Every structure is written in C-alpha cells, then in structure tokens.
Amino acid sequence: MGTGVQDSGQAGGGKQGESLMEVVKVALAGSPNTGKSTVFNALTGSHQRIGNWPGVTVEKMEGSYEWEGVTYQVVDLPGTYDFCAHTLDEKIARDYLLKEKPDVVVVVLNSCNLETNLYLLILVLEMGLRVVVALNMFDKACEQGLKIDYKRLGSILKVIFVPTVATRLIGIEELKKSISLALNQPLPLPPVNYGEKVEGLLREVEESVKHFPLPYPTRQVALRLAENDEEMKEWLKQHDSSGRVKMLLESLKEIVQDPEKFFWEKRYGFSHGLVMECTSLESNRQARVDFTNRLDRILTHPWAGLVVFMFLLALVFEIVFQWSSPFQVFLAGVFNLMAHSVRFLLKSVGAPDWLISFFTDGFFNGVGSVVSFLPNIFLLFLFFAALEDSGYMARVAFITDPVMHRLGLHGRSAISMVLGFGCNVPAILSTRTLESTRDRYLTILINPFMSCSARLPVYLLFCGVFFPRYQGAIVVSLYLIGVIMAVLTARIFAWLCFKEESTPLIMELPPYNVPVLRNMLNSAWYRTFLFLRKAGTVILISMLVVWLLGWLPPGSEYASRHSFLGRFGAFLAPVLKPAGFGFWEAAVALTCGLVAKEAVIGVLGTLYGGAASLNQVLGTVFTPVSAYSFLLMTLLYLPCLATIAAIKQEAGAKWAAVSIIWSLLVGWSAATIFYQLASLM
Amino acid sequence: MQEKKSNQQLLSLAEVPAGRYYIVALEPGFICGRLRRLGVKVGDTVQVIKPGPGPIIFLKGNMRIGIGWGLACRILVKPVEENRENL
C-alpha cells in the first residue's frame, strides 16, 4: 500500500488524464478531535484556525497544493460523527460529498480512537467515493502502546492508509503521494453487507426511486430512506405518489424492527471487527490519559471549575492589557509623528489645506487611532487560540452547562459567548454545532452583547482619560454588564419565542494538550490580519466619508457644527441627550460604529484632531459619568455590519432585524438609566 | 426509572461514584441516538472520571465523553465486579 513512487502524470487512467488539465478536488472529512484542521494546514500551508473543541471548522475552508505538476484543491469539511443531517455541519458535509463529488476524500482518523472514527470512514466508502485515510496522531497511539496494522486495514477495505502526525508534518508527503495514487484506483465497493433480505429490499428501493429527480446517488437515497432520514422522508412524500417505496420501507421495518439501530449496529460491528483484527495493545501506557483525568478532576469540578474559568478569563484580559499597552502607546506615537511629518512636508510644498487635512485628519488620525490597538487584538486572539488548542474550551461548555441550562441556554452556547469576546462573527458561525434551532437562535441573538475585541479600544481610550486608576475594574464591569444583558436577553426571548427546553449536553472532550505555538501564532495572525484588512478597507472608507462630510458644504470650517457631518450629528444628538452625551460628535461617532466598533474612536480621532490630542479634548467634553454612559452605549447599542450580516446568514433577516432593534433599545435604555441615576447621586 | 435500582444493583450514571461500569440500559430516543454517534451502546464498559453532581465525564476506550446530569439519569449502569467494594 502506498509504496513505489509513480509519476502520476504517466498513469493511464482516464480520471488522471482529465485531472491533468483541470484541478483535482480533494475533500477532508473526519470526526471532531481527529486533527483534521491540522492535516488541512499541513497539506495546504494555509493559515487556518485549529481547535480542540468539536466543530471549529465552521466556515468552508479551502486551500490548494501542487503535486507533480497537478493542482489539488482541498476543501476542509466540518468535523462530524455522522452524515444524518442532525446538525447544520452534518448537512453541509454530506451535501458536499454527495453533490460536489470530490475526486478523492481524505478521511482523517484519530489513531487513538479508531472504533468510533472508522464508522465515518465506512459511511464515506458507502457513498462510493475514492478514499485515502490519514491515520492521524499515530505517535500518540504508539505512546499508548497501541499497535495498528494499517497495511492490513488498507487491504481489507481496499483503501490506502497513511500514518500521519500532522502537528509535526510527519506523513504529509506520503499522504499527497497516496492521494495522487488513489485517483487511478477503481471506485470502492460498499464495505458492509447488510444481509440478503435487506440488500434485496435496498435494491428494490433503488429500482423504484431511480426515475425520481434524485438528490443523491440511488444507493445513498435507498440507504438514507431506510435509515429514516427526516430530510429524505420529506423528499419521498413529494415523489412517491404510488406509495410503493413507502411499502418497501414498511417491509424493511418488519424484518429489522428498528432500521436506524440495525444499520448502525451493522456498521459499528464491522468497525469493531476491524479494530479487533488489525490492532493490538502491546502494553498499557496510559500516562496521558491519567494526566487528563487528574486535570479534569480540578478543571471540571462543579464550583472549582467555574472559579478556575473566571480566573483564567481575568488572567487573559489582565495580560492582554498589561503586555500590549507599551506597544499601543508606541504605535499611537508613530502615527502621530507620521501625521505631523506629512503635515509639515505638505505645507512646505504648498499643498492646499484640504489635501493636508485629508492625510492628517482623515487618514493618519482616523485609521491610526484604530490600528494602534493592533497589539491588544493580537494578544487576545493568541490566548484564545491557546485555550482552544489545549482542549480547555470544550471544558468551558461542560462546566458552564448547569448554569447555562438554567438560563435556558446550552453548554456550547458558552463557547460561542467566550469566542464573542474575540469577535462576534466567528462566534455566531460557531453556533452551527448546536443541534436545536432554539439553542442556535438564542445563542446567536445574545452574542452581540458579548464585548468583542473591537470595543476594547474604545474602553481603553476612555478609561485612560477618565478612570486611569480604576481601568481594570471599569473594563471588567463593562464585560460583565455585556454578559448580564446577554443572559437577560436569552431569558426574555426564551420566554417570548421559544417555549421548549434547551437540548441536553453531550459532547466529546479532547485530551489536554500543550498548545503548539505555530498553531497559536497562525490563528492569532489570521484574526489580526482580518482586523488590519478591516482597518484598511471599511474603516478607512468610513473615516474618509466622515472626513468628506466634515469638509462639506464648501466654505464651512472643517468638522464644525455647520458641516454636513455636524448637521447630521446635531439631528441625532437630542435622542442621546438623556444618556448624557447629547452632542453631535458623539452621535456621528456612534453612527460610524455601525461599520465597525473601532470606528467610534477613529471618528473621534478625526473630529478631535488625532490620537495624541484626543485625550485632552475628551476630558473637556465628557464627564466621568457621561463617559461611562457612552461606554455602556458602545457596548450594547448595535452589532457591527459584519455581525448583522452573520446573523442574517445564520438565522435570517427577521432575527437580524430583531437583533438591531433590541440592541438599540437595550443600549439606549442602559445608558440613559445609568446616566440619570448617577446624576441624581 | 429510579425504582429499578437497588436490589438488582442497577443505578443511573448520575448517581454513581467514579469507577468502571457496564451500560445496562439506555432510554430510547434522544440519548440513545446521540450516544450511538459517539459509539456508545448497551453492554459497553465505561469508566466514570468525574461523577455527579453536575455534568458527568466518562471514558469509553480512549474517548472522553461529557454528558449533562439530566441525561446521565437516563443511563442505567451496573458496576464492574472489580470495584464493587468501592460502592
């Protein structure tokens, strides 16, 4: 298996001939916690987040590599245990495999957990797709004394098995070679025989449905129907007017009673048999298991676990603030210096006022005040990557489940909420692993209240001016208020719109790992890059629009009350007056915060003349009370455009609208109530 | 489900201390389907790492499974002989 180097270009198979001209489509399938995303990274060298908790691959990730002159386009499918479309992830993976028909499917298995993982391999083989198996984490299986005869596994299933250790790039070249070899192999036969009677019935079902407009190949349609797949049952209702297929399925039920259980047991029995046949436990070395057990006793303890979780979060934020602040001051200084130099340079060549203002007010002061917070963002995502990679994030779902359940949410909602501290967009996408629509929609709806990293710069700026001594406490209070509002929102909407109970928690917990620095840096860099790109595109454009509106109509003084900007802000300002910041600059800043929350300070920077002077000006226009009220508003008032788009994509336009209206209401009310009460005291 | 326990030594997974157990019965429906995906079925031996109260963690082979307390109540188990003295 997989021996002998063959020039894939010389191979005579028709498939290979075609693939030389076009691109070979490769899909990566596998269960959660098999290291699938790491294999994807190793194959394509792309920067992608990897995580230990189930379902991190929620966005469709694509990459490519070249092998012997051929381009291989790789799609990383969501990690699933099954393809029965219980969750959105399963449906995405199944539809991709059956409808897009990739040329080769790389099924990634966790070598330490073969029995469960082989089940998914059998499902892919039943789809009639060419398969190469990556036996990942092979080193860990060896460490545990597990000997896997992968050549024998390969010869039984007629599939190439390649042992890999993706974290250390071991076996990746061999995997690429095997993928090119697999292109010339005949399509696999279904590995499991379900017995004469059942197979006969399945063939009859295939015969009867083959004239219908089929969503999948006939064998898959027959199997899915036999397994009582909800989606296929609906499909059948539309097409099976004679009722013949229904009758066949009834007779299947008579033979096997519970078809779902029957097919599972057959496949599972087969994979159990394979494991018995092809693996042996040489010596029982369980050091890693014991380590994880010991750690779990503390980290998942009912109350100690929660204390550790709170402590870890506090520690992460403390380090993020402490470590990044010198860099941030430095970056702000650099931008300030650049603004001054450019102003000086342009003045000396006699450039017009508007051009000087364009570069200094619009560009350096606006974008600069946002970009200077780059170190905070990078560090925050670096620590989140560490939490995910180490396997701790999955425990967050576990330890918070009792609390979340009482609040009407699911343990996994907690993972989305924590991710929301980083960015609401991936956090909202991560809800795809939740099974019930109710849990998903509630988790999506509350996420914008989780204070994302884009809001952090606004807090830090105001804290630096108004609460230099209580910076930590103020920031923590804002994060807490965000969480409280999220929880209240969940309660209210659970009561209003979703009467049913949240689904109980059941999940695989990965063993603890020391996070790989390369993966952490990759992940943090990827998110920081997105932040930079946002700063360079939407934030830059909104800054320039603000700048332009500040200059217009011609003749008005820049960014004055009489500019278009001033007039627009003045129109909105009365609404904000009860909250304590009823001046037009604040209204403009908050409006631009819709584009991206960082833009709030960007706009203030543009209007008040740059990062350096911003501190002094803010001290004169806000009081500590109105400053805190402004921060409350920034925290709660509106999801940014990207988040609204994510909500619309995941839950539909109705819920996106609900989120906008609700958050505006909550933000304004919270700021107003706080300001009015605090002013009384 | 509670009345089934005691004399037959059948207990729910939610009320047992850490140790090794056979799964004797699973409530049909949700729990059965979800555990099935993770490869857990009646007759399997599991090792409880973190017992209740609160969610439970058990090992099945090398797979570590976390499960809510309410669900664990619907899994009936019997201790494996070797740790009977612990119960």
Q: Is B41 on the interface with A (CB under 8 A)?
A: yes
Residues A354 and A212 placed together within one structural domain of the fold: no
Beta bridge partners of A161: A133
A516 located within any domain: no
The residue that leads in pLDDT, A307 or A552, is A307
pLDDT digits (tens, 9 = 90+) for A574-609: 899 898 888 888 888 888 888 778 778 878 887 786
pLDDT digits (tens, 9 = 90+) for A224-264: 889 888 888 888 888 888 888 888 989 998 988 888 889 99
Q: Is B31 on the interface with A (CB under 8 A)?
A: yes
Residues B45-51: what's their mean pLDDT?
Answer: 90
Rounded Cα distance between A224 and A202, Å, is 10
pTM listed for this prediction: 0.76
Question: Which segment of A111-120, A289-298, A303-312, A480-489 scores lowest on mean pLDDT?
Answer: A289-298
What is the structure's pLDDT at A617? 84
The residue that leads in pLDDT, A521 or A629, is A629
What is the structure's pLDDT at A57? 38
Q: Do A300 and B50 touch (CB under 8 A)?
A: yes
Which chain A residue is nearest to residue B36, measuring alpha carbons?
A: A264
Question: Which segment of A63-67, A309-313, A349-353 scores lowest on mean pLDDT?
Answer: A349-353
Rounded Cα distance between A437 and A651, Å, is 9
A286 located within any domain: no
Residues A373 and A477 placed together within one structural domain of the fold: yes
Q: Does an H or E element contain B76, and which?
A: strand B75-79
Q: Do A115 and B39 touch (CB under 8 A)?
A: yes
Cα-to-chain-centroid distance, residue A168: 24
Residues A180-204: what's their mean pLDDT?
Answer: 89
Three-point CA angle A468, A471, A476, nearest 5°: 165
Read off the tokens for A98: 């059956």
Three-point CA angle A108, A90, A249, nearest 5°: 115
Which chain A residue is nearest to residue B73, measuring alpha carbons?
A: A504
DSSP character at residue B84: G
The residue that leads in pLDDT, A138 or B70, is A138
Q: Do A509 and B55 touch (CB under 8 A)?
A: no
Tokens 């990690």 belong to residue: A79
Contact status, residue A110 vs residue A164, Cβ threshold 8 Å: no
Rounded Cα distance between A23 and A20, Å, is 7
pLDDT at A51 > cutoff 60: no
The residue that leads in pLDDT, A646 or A507, is A507
Q: Residue A597: how many CB atoms within 10 A of its CB?
A: 29
Residues A167 and A205 placed together within one structural domain of the fold: no
Residues near B67 by Cβ (< 8 Å), separated by ≥ 6? A504, A505, A506, A507, B13, B55, B56, B57, B58, B75
Residues A44-68: what's their mean pLDDT?
Answer: 59
* Domain end residue (candidates: A127, A152, A182): A182
Domains parsed from chain B with CATH numbers: 11-80 (2.30.30.90)
pLDDT digits (tens, 9 = 90+) for A262-288: 999 899 999 999 999 998 887 666 666
The residue that leads in pLDDT, A71 or A430, is A71
Nearest to A369 by CA among A335, A414, A409: A335
Cα-to-chain-centroid distance, residue A385: 12
pLDDT at A327 > cutoff 50: yes
What is the structure's pLDDT at A28? 93
pLDDT at B4 > cutoff 80: no
Partners of B69 on chain A (C-beta within 8 Å) are 402
pLDDT at A4 > cutoff 50: no
Q: Do A398 and B55 touch (CB under 8 A)?
A: yes
| Banded model confidence at residue A60, pLDDT cuts 50, 70, 90 | low
Angstroms from B3 CA to nearest CA on chain A: 23
Residues A235 and A338 placed together within one structural domain of the fold: no
What is the structure's pLDDT at A540? 77
Q: Do B64 and A81 touch (CB under 8 A)?
A: no
The residue that leads in pLDDT, A117 or B31, is A117
B34, B38, B66 member nearest A398 (Cβ): B66
* Domain end residue (candidates: A142, A160, A182): A182
Upper half-sphere CA count for residue A647 (Cβ side, 13 Å): 24
Burial bucket for residue B62 (CB in 10 Å: 0-12, 13-18, 19+): buried
What is the structure's pLDDT at B86? 45
Q: Do B66 and A405 touch (CB under 8 A)?
A: no
pLDDT at A87 > cutoff 80: no
pLDDT at A310 > cutoff 70: yes
Residues near A490 by Cβ (< 8 Å), separated by ≥ 6? A407, A408, A409, A413, A442, A445, A446
Question: Is residue A374 helix, strand or coil?
Answer: helix
Which chain B residue is nearest to residue A290, measuring alpha carbons?
A: B49
As a dihedral over the C-alpha atoms of residue A286, residue A289, residue A293, residue A295, rounded to 10 degrees, the angle is 110
Range of the domain at A244: 196-281
Burial bucket for residue A585 (CB in 10 Å: 0-12, 13-18, 19+): buried
Angstroms from B55 CA to nearest CA on chain A: 7
Residues A114-126: what's their mean pLDDT?
Answer: 92
Q: Is B51 on the interface with A (CB under 8 A)?
A: no
Partners of A401 on chain B (C-beta within 8 Å) are 55, 68
Burial bucket for residue A468 (CB in 10 Å: 0-12, 13-18, 19+): exposed
Question: Which segment of A383-392, A455-464, A593-602 scores lowest on mean pLDDT?
Answer: A593-602
The listed range with the strongest mean pLDDT (A21-25, A395-399, A531-535, A558-562) is: A395-399
Partners of B59 on chain A (C-beta within 8 Å) are 289
pLDDT digits (tens, 9 = 90+) for A352-373: 877 887 777 767 766 776 677 6
Angstroms from A116 CA to nearest CA on chain B: 5
Q: Which amino acid is at A593?
A: G
What is the structure's pLDDT at A612? 63
What is the structure's pLDDT at A559? 65
Question: Is residue B59 helix, strand or coil?
Answer: strand
Q: Do B55 and A411 touch (CB under 8 A)?
A: yes
Question: Is residue A501 helix, strand or coil?
Answer: coil
Question: Is residue A346 helix, strand or coil?
Answer: helix
Partners of A411 on chain B (C-beta within 8 Å) are 55, 68
Contact status, residue B4 vs residue B76, Cβ threshold 8 Å: yes
* Domain end residue (candidates: A262, A281, A300): A281
B31, B39, B62 member nearest A268 (Cβ): B39
A113, A506, A510 member nearest B61 (Cβ): A113
Residues A275 and A334 placed together within one structural domain of the fold: no
DSSP letters for A258-316: SHHHHHHHHHHHHHHHHHHHHEEESS---HHHHHHHHHHHHHTSTTHHHHHHHHHHHHH
What is the structure's pLDDT at A545? 80
Number of H helices, E strands in chain B: 2, 6
Cα-to-chain-centroid distance, residue A465: 35
A115, A268, A301 member nearest B61 (Cβ): A115
Q: Do A509 and B54 touch (CB under 8 A)?
A: no
Partners of B57 on chain A (C-beta within 8 Å) are 296, 300, 398, 509
For A436-447, the three-class secondary structure string (H helix, E strand, C coil) is CHHHHHHHHHHH
Residues A404 and A275 placed together within one structural domain of the fold: no
A289 located within any domain: no
A86, A113, A402 member nearest B63 (Cβ): A113
A125 located within any domain: yes
Q: Is B63 on the interface with A (CB under 8 A)?
A: yes
Three-point CA angle A548, A551, A557, nearest 5°: 160
Rounded Cα distance between A633 and A628, Å, is 9
Residues A21-26: what's their mean pLDDT?
Answer: 81
| Banded model confidence at residue A544, pLDDT cuts 50, 70, 90 | confident
Residues A581 and A625 placed together within one structural domain of the fold: yes
pLDDT digits (tens, 9 = 90+) for A647-661: 887 888 899 999 999
Nearest to A602 by CA among A542, A668, A651, A658: A542
The listed range with the strongest mean pLDDT (A78-92, A265-279, A294-308, A539-553) is: A265-279
Partners of B30 on chain A (C-beta within 8 Å) are 503-504
A297 located within any domain: no
pLDDT at A130 > cutoff 90: yes
What is the structure's pLDDT at A369? 65
As a dihedral over the C-alpha atoms of residue A650, residue A651, residue A652, residue A658, rounded to 10 degrees, the angle is -130
Rounded Cα distance between A419 and A431, Å, is 11
Question: Is residue A147 helix, strand or coil?
Answer: strand
Residues A114 and A203 placed together within one structural domain of the fold: no
User: What is the share, in percent, of chain A residues with pLDDT greater than 70?
Assistant: 90
Angstroms from B49 CA to nearest CA on chain A: 7
H helices of A437-560, in order, are 437-446, 456-466, 471-496, 517-534, 540-551
Q: Is B62 on the interface with A (CB under 8 A)?
A: yes
B35, B62, B66 member nearest A112 (Cβ): B62
For residue A215, the domain's CATH number is: 1.10.287.1770
Q: Do A289 and B62 touch (CB under 8 A)?
A: yes
Q: How many distinct structural domains can be found in chain A?
A: 3
pLDDT at A20 > cutoff 80: no
pLDDT at A183 > cutoff 80: yes
Residues A165 and A249 placed together within one structural domain of the fold: no
Residues A139 and A221 placed together within one structural domain of the fold: no
Residues A455 and A560 placed together within one structural domain of the fold: yes
Radius of gyration of chain A (CA): 29
The residue that leads in pLDDT, A454 or A474, is A474
pLDDT at A141 > cutoff 80: yes
Q: Which amino acid is at A657?
A: A
Q: Is B20 on the interface with A (CB under 8 A)?
A: no
What does the mean pLDDT of chain A come to? 83
Q: Is B17 on the interface with A (CB under 8 A)?
A: no
Rounded Cα distance between A498 and A657, Å, is 17
Rounded Cα distance between B14 and A189, Å, is 43
Q: What separation, in Å, do the N-terminal and C-terminal C-alpha atoms of chain B show?
A: 20
Selected for mutation to probe chain B from A436, A439, A506 (highest B CB count within 10 Å) is A506
Q: Is B55 on the interface with A (CB under 8 A)?
A: yes
What interface predicted TM-score (ipTM) does this complex get? 0.84
Partners of B49 on chain A (C-beta within 8 Å) are 293, 296-297
Residues A142-165: what's their mean pLDDT?
Answer: 91
Partners of B41 on chain A (C-beta within 8 Å) are 265, 268
| Banded model confidence at residue A50, pLDDT cuts 50, 70, 90 | very low
Q: Is B66 on the interface with A (CB under 8 A)?
A: yes
A520 located within any domain: no
A144, A402, A511 member nearest B55 (Cβ): A402
Residues A562 and A600 placed together within one structural domain of the fold: yes
A177 located within any domain: yes
| Banded model confidence at residue A485, pLDDT cuts 50, 70, 90 | very high
Residues near A3 by Cβ (< 8 Å), separated by ≥ 6? none
Q: Is B53 on the interface with A (CB under 8 A)?
A: yes
A514 located within any domain: no
A24-30 and A70-76 beta bridge pairing: parallel
What is the structure's pLDDT at A610? 60
Which chain A residue is nearest to residue B67, measuring alpha carbons?
A: A506
